Structure 1
Amino acid sequence: MKQLPIMQVLPDLKRILTDTTAAILIAEPGAGKTTGTPPAFLDEPWLAGKTILMLEPRRLAARSAAAYMASCLGESVGQTVGYRMRMDTRVGRNTRIVVVTEGVLTRMLQSDPALGDVGLVIFDEFHERSLHADLGLALTLEAQSVLREDLRILVMSATLDGERVSALLGGAPVVNCPGRTYPVETVYVPGPDKIYPEIAAAAAVRRALAEQPGDVLVFLPGEREIRRTEQELASGGLPEGTVLRPLYGQLPQQMQDAAVAAAVPGERKVVLATSIAETSLTIEGVRTVIDTGLRRTQVFSPRTGMPRLTTVPVSKASADQRRGRAGRTAPGVCYRLWSREEHDRLPDDNVPEIMETDLAQLALELALWGVPEPGALAWLDAPPAAPYAQATALLRQLGALDAGGAITPHGRSMAALGAHPRIAHMLLRAADLAAAPLAALLAALLQERDLFKGPAALSSDLTLRVEALLGSGSSAAGGGADPAILRAVQRESRNFLAQLQAAPGGPPDNISLSGLLLSFAYPDRIGQKRGDGAFLLSGGRGAAMREGQPLARSPYIVAPGVDDRAGQSRIMLAAELSEQDLLKHHADSLLEEREVYWDSESGSVKARRVTRLGALILKETTHERATAEETEHVLLKVIAAEGLERLPWDKGTIQLRQRMGFLHALRADFPDMSDAALCDTLDEWLAPYIHGMRNLRDLQRVNLTQALENMLDWNSRQTLNREAPTHITVPSGSRIPLDYSNPGSPVLAVRLQEMFGQTDTPRIGGGKIPVLLHLLSPARRPMQVTSDLASFWQGTYFEVKKDLKGRYPKHYWPDDPLQAIPTNRTRPSK
């Protein structure tokens, strides 16, 4: 093996793992950690002949690392060094180092929690923070804690917060190793075309081939962009001897090996790669990197209810990793197809997948592990509570968990498939119906980007995509299908069938089952027609199709593709579901119940017997009559929801409520008269007075005055009449009503002449509260507002008198109001 920088720290790392059971290795790019570290431990006494597992996030890196380590031992893959990944395993009886990809480690832990044949588990490139890496580390830590105290754990990364990981691993030592890189010049080349990065990438390739020596590595977000860039470059303008090599995860292994290998003499290689070339790979001969600054990542999609690949900008850390690919074997150059200002706005690191993806698969794995809540395990970042609760609710709906949260036998079968729980449930149900090939096609379609492009993509009908898949490649492309996505869907469909261990057989012969199969995966997205292209989904949300969709006429649909960005969801993909299939195959989910409800159109309480599927009413019988108790309960709920305005408040009742509210502010033994308090206690004070009533008209007969008075006992009523009177008798002999609309300051509106001779302001509330006097003119217009009548007579009265005497000369305006005769006439009678 080459003398790589990692060799300098391996003695320290060996010593640490001899003395303790966990360590962290921070090794810069080019240090050789991926291929240099595992073989160094093969002869350690504590390993005792057991296996070393290394989790490698990417399939290409896993195969490449295994092949390089095997070659350094003079062997082929499958002898001392092997690998395990989905649909591809190369290990033998004597294999001691096994490189595994994501999901495989989880399956190994679930089948053997103690990892009895394993002595060391290595988590490589842990900084990528994939969901399976976080889950794998959490499960391995518990296995070490509970079952295997001798199991060693090594976390490796080029860029990582070592202190946080060290704390997670119980204070594990951190070893730092320098890398072996050469200087790389960074050139920012902002391009005008952000929608089609392949155009900018192709232009940058031509520039790099003219300006720089050596081979070129181009980072593009996905296979589609790689193909388009390849077509753009193949159209001309490349120097003689230039070869184009695509590099992405689904590429055949021979083509991946050709991309990684050194170019033959006389040729210059241009590697068009996804993020799989970002870490753990050295591509021989690369001196120039061209970075579009984009990557594909899995995020939870509300449209499909599953993780979905989407294109996002890279982080600064990822951009630096890509830049470093140009300096692995010699000085290099990195062309970044964005501006320096755009670079400064990039996030520092990628968001951990556990924080933004769907957690249904994680929740299923934890249930299979026997952990009801994620808090029972140790995490670098714990799963967010709300998405996790949503995930467990879905698993219960799919039959994977029982009511107590424990995994069911069906849930175990779902977990064994390793697919997303929605897809696993659909595949298992489809197998029972001998429809596995169709279910596999549907699963693959949902996992990839839309098969259709151009005008054909406007159709919401998913079965048209299935028909395109079952046609020839050329005819499908002519119908608007993207050939690259078509190939990817067909390939993934075969993988799903292999997971199900179902024979591929012939093509599906009954596409009309598409809606039924999709309803197994999306029981929360079964839609019932409302009209005008609108549907009510079984999960309770409304959704609508674009205008002109034939599916809009279907009584029932399943909508796996829903855009939740608008107020009402837009249905992007759907399939028709027959009512017969719905009732037959979802019988266990149907709920039959008698329902008493408020009919807003008639303004009355009605009863019916309904058959429900979630929010959908499939059958309804209205020949029911609600009992008096049921009606009373619904009426009270309507009043509480719509407000007390539904009740017949007349002037006297309003004043009574205000008087009681006035005394509540002064005395704790008086009931609270606020809207909220009255709504909360409707069953106590109102229920006896609406018994037997059925509709809004009946409510107008409620005796509210009696209902409110009966909230008080006899003593409290006496207190109410004494301390919060309805009227006050003024000096003229008139009984003037009090206005309690402001309970803090009740108002007595009285003509000024009627108060002659009274010295003090009237008081209520047991003498605690002076009323607010609105002293009126003879025309009953407010002339003065006061709560201090004595002060008014002494001063302000004489100013008011001057004004009023001129305007009302026939009325009585004495010089001494305290000695004058009060009157409710123009002048006092003799």
Structure 2
Amino acid sequence: MQFPIASLLPEIAASLAAHPRLVLEAPPGAGKTTQLPLALLDAAWLGDRKIVMLEPRRVAARAAAGFMAKQLGETVGETVGYRIRFENKVGAHTRIEVVTEGILTRMLQDDPLLDGVGALLFDEFHERHLAGDLGLALALDVQAGLREDLRIVLMSATLDGEKIAGFLDAPRLSSAGRSFPVEVAHFPARREEAIEHQAKRAIEHALAAHPGDLLVFLPGQREIARVDAVLAAAGIDADVLALHGELPVEQQGRVLQPAADGRRRVVLATNVAESSVTLPGVRVVIDSGQAREPRFDPNSGFARLDVVAISQASADQRAGRAGRVAEGWAYRLWPQSQRLEPQRRPEIAQVELASLALELAAWGSAALRFVDPPPAGAMASARDLLRRLDALDARHAITARGRRMLALGTHPRLAAMLLASDDPSRMALACDIAALVEARDPLRTRSDAVAERRQALAAFRNGRVGADASRSALAAIDAAAKQWRRRLRCDAPPPADAPAHAVGDLLAHAFPDRIGRQHPQDPKRYALANGRMARLFDDSALYGEPWLVASELRFEAKDALLLRGAPLDEAYLRQAFAAHFREGDEVRWDANRRALASERIERFDGIVLSSKSAGRVDPALAAQALVDAVRELGVGALPWSEALAQWRVRVQCLRGWMPGLGLPDLSDAALLASLDRWLTPAFDGKTRLDALDEAELGEALKAGVDWSQRQRIDQLAPTRILVPSGMERRIDYALDDHGEPASPVLAVKLQELFGMNETPRVAEGRIPLTIHLLSPGGRPLQVTQDLRGFWERTYPEVKKEMKGRYPRHPWPDDPWNATATHRAKPRG
């Protein structure tokens, strides 16, 4: 079989011989996934080393390895093999390894030299999974510092090739694809029609109107099951097959092979069929326009798969699947008026980053080159969580426990729980809980008790499935728990019965920030370790528990709503989390009394267990409490003199006008964010907010500005200016409502400016003053930034009007050459 990419392979080989990086754009069907690795096996620069190809999806990884092995007349595990989570088919002589994203990260972390690897191929890079972005960043770091000979190739059908090639400083090559015309139409939904019924109508229409097999893109397994059910009820004349990442390998293989008996097929697939998987015989694509993609879910603390609209690039790629073997048809199940985003947003911008932060800590550097850098706020939150889990120390360095967590290849929360006990029975229970937390809910009821789900799993293992439980979901959870026991080398069987407290005691290691204690006045409310409050459902199964841990919360404006959790044993908590219990004197700001209060407080993290007055305020603790008071009240609570407030505004103006000066940001937000640094020393030894005077505040504020910068501020933004009358007049500086510099104002009597032809300026002549020209009585006559224009055009009218009103003041016909004065009659 000849693939379109074949003609480009010599040029690709030549490019990689001359340059260590390459961006390859090739449409679906071009053969890049299965032909390029084989073509590179004989490259001189590769020698006898391996090629590792990153394939984001397990289905595609197995399929690609299988197809390449078949081309060589071998079985998988010989020259070509694959490694995915919980599955390894690689032999001693394997030279092409197809791996999923987490596997590549582990390879790089375990052996940064990548000994024995000559090339890394990143397939379908346009999907922009977090693990793929991290893998590329690590690979570029290895290439820059250790392995200049390592080849890195990024491949995709719908890649922003120009941007990526510029980022990599790499050549960019494009291959033709094998495609036929595809006619695209939008298949209208009926009013309030469910997606499965709209899909059924589209499938029936396509089977009647067009030849060939059908490929139907649906968001996930749930939707596949619903469409399968309505098609079964309709009795359509075709084989209906599912395709998603959780299917057994045998069933996936059946879908990827042509029908032996020639019957037509309807393949119900997730977006695993969007790329890198070829489905023979497909002539019609029916696209729901939706996919399940990771989004950070603050309720659970994990990235969850949410149903979202696909990008335009994905829609085009899906439609192209209908034109692989002949002309085809694509039906879109969304209105033609609906506009899609051009490209898929990278996961790094929208998921929780604890796993990434732990990987970077293990690597020893966060200064890696990412196509899109991780958001600073998300990284700070991730590191805070990792410190709670004892995976990082106070300097953000990885701990020994953090390395053990990383080796498990799961979210750090779950890894912390899986490592919480060496007791085999508790380890087996932890495996069950990890599988339950990761999976979709197996119960159809609204119960908030995790223990009930564990009981349903135990019943399933004994052959009983309750009416409110999903057999398929429990089967998947049971399989995942077995994999975890295998990974942990845990030989103990999962306990048939586990007390609810045992479940909660383990969950506490995954969610230490969500440990809660019952409020003494309201039994449905709980104070959480992270300082927030949570409340129970009215019919909560957890009602009355003094301590609990929440594995899932819905965050709301006031109290979070506990969606799922388990009770905790306080004795276990005090033993396992002893370092989180502490007692000591604390000084806080009492807003009602507007004074400091000293208390002896016992805490569990952010939960106050008991408090009593400690009497006199300890000065050693007072400074921080006063700073906290300012943080609560705002910087306006400080004793600002008019001169100091103006100095602060002058600095802010110069920052806007002349950013090259490098002056500090003195906005309210910046000052509040840095209170501990600049204000705490000023409160040293003080126990009252009003004990800080204006001079001390000024010194604290100006401490971050050295003497030479202070001199420049006075030169560039002077507070006063000498006018022709011989007097110094004040310049007022201000910021607008958005915090941007406004034009500085000089208010001066008109007679004091006789002889001044040009508008005075500050900031090395860049900024003209706004002159408020006043009458002899101090009333405004004119506002201008064009003094010359005022003398030429406006002054004659002003003189005519004012001369009779102020006859004792000069109103010369020639203000250009008149003597300026601040008096009623000039001397002499």
TM-score bracket for the superposition, by shorter chain length? 0.7 to 0.9
Q: Does residue 211 of structure 1 match 2:209?
A: yes
Q: Distance in 2 between the 1:218 and 1:55 partners?
A: 26
- Work out whether residues 623 and 684 of structure 2, in 8 Å CA contact, stay in contact via their aligned partners in 1: no
Letter in 1 for 2:516: G
Q: Distance in 1 between the 2:67 and 2:642 partners?
A: 87
Q: Which residue of 2 aligns with 1:325?
A: 321
- Work out whether residues 168 and 379 of structure 1, in 8 Å CA contact, stay in contact via their aligned partners in 2: no
Letter in 2 for 1:211: A
- Work out whether residues 636 and 683 of structure 1, in 8 Å CA contact, stay in contact via their aligned partners in 2: no
Q: Distance in 2 between the 1:44 and 1:557 partners?
A: 60
Q: Does residue 410 of structure 1 match 2:405?
A: no
* Alpha-carbon shift at residue 570 of structure 1 (Å): 1.6
**Structure 2 matches for 1:308-707, cutoff 5 A?**
308-342=304-338, 345-371=339-365, 373=366, 376-432=367-423, 434-453=425-444, 456-457=445-446, 459-472=447-460, 478-503=466-491, 505-507=493-495, 509-512=497-500, 513-530=502-519, 531-597=522-588, 606-620=597-611, 622=612, 624-627=614-617, 629=619
* Alpha-carbon shift at residue 94 of structure 1 (Å): 1.2
Q: Which residue of 1 aligns with 2:174?
A: 176
Q: Which residue of 2 aligns with 1:225?
A: 223
Letter in 2 for 1:351: R
Change in CA separation of 1:174 and 1:463 when aligned onto 2, cut-off 3 Å:
same
TM-score, normalised by the number of residues in structure 2: 0.75
Q: Distance in 2 between the 1:638 and 1:131 partners?
A: 37
Tell which deviates more after alignment, 418-427 or 197-206: 197-206
Q: Which whole-Å deviations, capped at 9, do the CAs of 1:58-95 have from their partners, x for residues lacking one? A: 11111111111111111111111111111111111111
* Alpha-carbon shift at residue 506 of structure 1 (Å): 3.4
SS of 1:103's partner is: helix
Change in CA separation of 1:33 and 1:504 when aligned onto 2, cut-off 3 Å:
farther
Q: Which whole-Å deviations, capped at 9, do the CAs of 1:321-362 have from their partners, x for residues lacking one? A: 1111111112111111111112xx111111101111111111
Q: Distance in 2 between the 1:574 and 1:667 partners?
A: 54
Choose 1 or 2 for highest CA Rg: 1
* Alpha-carbon shift at residue 232 of structure 1 (Å): 1.4
Q: Distance in 1 between the 2:406 and 2:621 partners?
A: 48
SS of 1:497's partner is: helix
* Alpha-carbon shift at residue 198 of structure 1 (Å): 2.2
SS of 2:474's partner is: helix
**Structure 2 matches for 1:146-161, cutoff 5 A?**
146-161=145-160
Q: Distance in 2 between the 1:639 and 1:405 partners?
A: 29
Q: Distance in 1 between the 2:263 and 2:28 partners?
A: 27
SS of 2:42's partner is: coil
SS of 2:600's partner is: strand
Letter in 2 for 1:515: G
**Structure 2 matches for 1:188-199, cutoff 5 A?**
188-192=186-190, 196-199=194-197
- Work out whether residues 598 and 617 of structure 2, in 8 Å CA contact, stay in contact via their aligned partners in 1: no
Change in CA separation of 1:663 and 1:95 when aligned onto 2, cut-off 3 Å:
closer
Q: Distance in 2 between the 1:159 and 1:663 partners?
A: 59
SS of 2:63's partner is: helix
Q: Which residue of 1 aligns with 2:658?
A: none
Change in CA separation of 1:364 and 1:69 when aligned onto 2, cut-off 3 Å:
same
Q: Which residue of 2 aligns with 1:26?
A: 25
Alignment coverage as a number of residue pairs: 676
TM-score, normalised by the number of residues in structure 1: 0.75
Q: Distance in 2 between the 1:93 and 1:667 partners?
A: 73
Q: Which residue of 1 aligns with 2:718?
A: none
Letter in 1 for 2:218: L
Letter in 1 for 2:473: I
Q: Distance in 1 between the 2:149 and 2:631 partners?
A: 62
Long gaps (5+) in structure 2: 649-667, 698-775, 780-804, 809-828
Q: CA RMSD in A?
A: 3.7
Letter in 1 for 2:250: Q
Change in CA separation of 1:511 and 1:628 when aligned onto 2, cut-off 3 Å:
closer
Change in CA separation of 1:567 and 1:349 when aligned onto 2, cut-off 3 Å:
farther
Q: Distance in 1 between the 2:617 and 2:273 partners?
A: 71
Q: Which residue of 2 aligns with 1:116?
A: 115
- Work out whether residues 437 and 508 of structure 1, in 8 Å CA contact, stay in contact via their aligned partners in 2: no
Change in CA separation of 1:681 and 1:154 when aligned onto 2, cut-off 3 Å:
closer
Q: Which residue of 1 aligns with 2:68?
A: 69
* Alpha-carbon shift at residue 473 of structure 1 (Å): 7.8
Change in CA separation of 1:479 and 1:624 when aligned onto 2, cut-off 3 Å:
farther
**Structure 1 counterpart of 2:302, from 299, 306, 309:** 306
- Work out whether residues 220 and 226 of structure 1, in 8 Å CA contact, stay in contact via their aligned partners in 2: yes
Q: Distance in 1 between the 2:778 and 2:555 partners?
A: 57
Q: Distance in 1 between the 2:56 and 2:684 partners?
A: 66
Q: Distance in 1 between the 2:624 and 2:278 partners?
A: 71
* Alpha-carbon shift at residue 133 of structure 1 (Å): 0.9
* Alpha-carbon shift at residue 481 of structure 1 (Å): 2.0
Letter in 2 for 1:7: A
Q: Distance in 1 between the 2:536 and 2:103 partners?
A: 40
Long gaps (5+) in structure 1: 648-656, 669-675, 692-698, 712-768, 773-790, 795-830
Q: Which whole-Å deviations, capped at 9, do the CAs of 1:338-397 have from their partners, x for residues lacking one? A: 11112xx111111101111111111111111111x2xx2111111111101111111111
* Alpha-carbon shift at residue 565 of structure 1 (Å): 4.7
Q: Distance in 1 between the 2:462 and 2:57 partners?
A: 32
Q: Distance in 2 between the 1:414 and 1:143 partners?
A: 23
Q: Which residue of 2 aligns with 1:752?
A: none
* Alpha-carbon shift at residue 267 of structure 1 (Å): 1.3
Change in CA separation of 1:578 and 1:196 when aligned onto 2, cut-off 3 Å:
farther
- Work out whether residues 134 and 380 of structure 1, in 8 Å CA contact, stay in contact via their aligned partners in 2: yes
Change in CA separation of 1:14 and 1:469 when aligned onto 2, cut-off 3 Å:
same
- Work out whether residues 605 and 634 of structure 1, in 8 Å CA contact, stay in contact via their aligned partners in 2: no
**Structure 2 matches for 1:96-135, cutoff 5 A?**
96-135=95-134
Q: Distance in 1 between the 2:240 and 2:378 partners?
A: 43
Change in CA separation of 1:193 and 1:328 when aligned onto 2, cut-off 3 Å:
farther
Change in CA separation of 1:114 and 1:536 when aligned onto 2, cut-off 3 Å:
same
Q: Which whole-Å deviations, capped at 9, do the CAs of 1:593-639 have from their partners, x for residues lacking one? A: 2123456789986543323222102344x263224758987996798
- Work out whether residues 279 and 321 of structure 1, in 8 Å CA contact, stay in contact via their aligned partners in 2: yes
SS of 2:101's partner is: coil
Change in CA separation of 1:267 and 1:507 when aligned onto 2, cut-off 3 Å:
farther
Q: Distance in 2 between the 1:687 and 1:771 partners?
A: 47
Q: Which residue of 2 aligns with 1:806?
A: none
- Work out whether residues 494 and 504 of structure 1, in 8 Å CA contact, stay in contact via their aligned partners in 2: no
Q: Distance in 2 between the 1:248 and 1:18 partners?
A: 38
